[in-house]
Chains A and B, each alone.
Chain A
Amino acid sequence: MHRFANPTRFLRLSKVLLPWSGGGGVLLLVVGLVWGLWFSPADYQQGETVRILYIHVPSAWMGLFAYTVMAGASAVGLIWKHPLADLVAKASAPVGAAFTFVCLVTGALWGKPMWGTYWVWDARLTSMLILLFLYLGYMALVNAFDDPGRGARAGAILALVGFVNVPVIKFSVDWWNTLHQPASVSRVGVPAMALEMLLPLLVMGGAFMFYYVTLLLIRVRSEIAAAKVRAIRLAQGHGA
């Protein structure tokens, strides 16, 4: 952990990683989209509408994953005071918020033809909406302080408190009656999805993951640059 918490080493490592994560993301996205939207079969119940799945489900996965990264980095920042952890948490939030937003919008567009409604207040949909608000609240809180260190501290506490919502989202469909279906992929035993639909879904999941890693690396790099600029400004201000 300590080795990667060094900003200089991170800058060097991320420069090597970026072309691979970016290139891999574009490749997987093209393969996944073409496979999912054209070559994968229509569903026996839902017909062609099922193809929203290939955007909706990876967005939901990444919305949860980005929050988990944010909460994990917040804990590391609070406890071990690693200089990079706060930046990772801050950089993860807008990306995760965007994934969550895409998940909610595609879910609404899917719900209308299948369920007969854009939105219901069931446990899964409501907890996912709370996740979006947690992201937005975190972003507002972190930026509400003049001192970035204090902003990161306050944000880290909010991120950790909000992490309680993550298992609630995941298990909401098992704990309560919901309109949303239970998990198809990550369930005990075999996935409830035919392989010719599961494979393009997993490719899209990989594409979204690479995209997330790429954006995270770019954002952390720019946060490091911004911190350097701030330090130089302060030094000049004192010198004048």
Chain B
Amino acid sequence: MTRKQRRLAWVVFGLLALGTAVGLVLLAARDSVVFFFSPSELAAKPVDSNRRLRIGGLVATGSVRQEGEVVHFIVTDMARDIPVVFTGLLPDLFREGQGVVAEGKLGDDGVFRASEVLAKHDETYMPREVVEALKKAGQWQDVSVAPSPGAKSPEAPR
């Protein structure tokens, strides 16, 4: 092995070892690297009702109800729902069928009390006219996000 080959082998070996180490660390720290939990992920793990966390998903169609400054809506990932209560101003992009991330605490009654709501948009970029033309032609696949069947709606008395 020449000196050049030895140096090359060291660099390749070093990068592989480092990559493996970083990969393992990130895998172990998965729960703190994710920015939010989906309703399904949250259902799979027990949560302390005093712990602040973020949930994310889509705002279920027809679920937004405004009472003065208080907003009720449902965050869904099509499999499970979480009813959310929030007091304050919503971001411009907040709308039904769109992505949302809410930070707050999950109460024992299953209602998420959010202190902050952020809008999350997807990777689609399109001019308005194209979307309108697609809608006219019936080609637009609008995300109609109904709450999953059997879920508690925020309107339901409890």
Contacts and interface: CB of A to CB of B under 8 A. Distances in A.
B93 A43 contact: no
B65 interface: no
Nearest to B14: A160
B101 A179 contact: yes
- Give the most central of A160, A161, A179: most B CB within 10 Å: A179
Interface string B78-101: 000000000000111110001001
A53 interface: yes
A31 interface: no
Interface string A121-134: 11100000000000
16 contacts: A41-B128, A42-B127, A42-B128, A46-B93, A78-B7, A115-B93, A115-B121, A116-B90, A116-B92, A121-B35, A123-B33, A123-B35, A161-B18, A164-B22, A176-B35, A179-B101
A137 interface: no
Contacts of B7: 78-79
Interface in A46-81: 46, 50, 53, 75, 78-80
Interface residues of B, number: 41
A80 B11 CA distance: 12
Contacts of B117: 116
Interface string B118-144: 111111111111110000000000000
B26 interface: yes
Interface of A: 41-46, 50, 53, 75, 78-80, 113-117, 120-123, 160-161, 163-164, 168, 175-179, 181-184, 187, 192-194, 196-197
Given A79-B11, A116-B118, A117-B118, A44 B127 contact: yes
B24 interface: no
Interface of B: 4, 7-8, 11, 14-15, 18-19, 22, 26, 30, 33-38, 56, 90-94, 98, 101, 116-131
A183 B19 CA distance: 23
B92 A113 contact: yes
Given A163-B15, A164-B19, A177-B34, A194 B121 contact: no
Nearest to A125: B35
Nearest to A121: B35
A160 B15 contact: yes
A116 B19 CA distance: 35
A187 B125 CA distance: 14
Given A120-B35, A122-B35, A43 B119 contact: no
A13 to B, nearest CB: 25
B147 to A, nearest CB: 20
Nearest to B93: A114
Contacts of A160: 11, 14-15
A42 B94 CA distance: 18
Given A115-B93, A120-B118, A179-B120, A197 B125 contact: yes
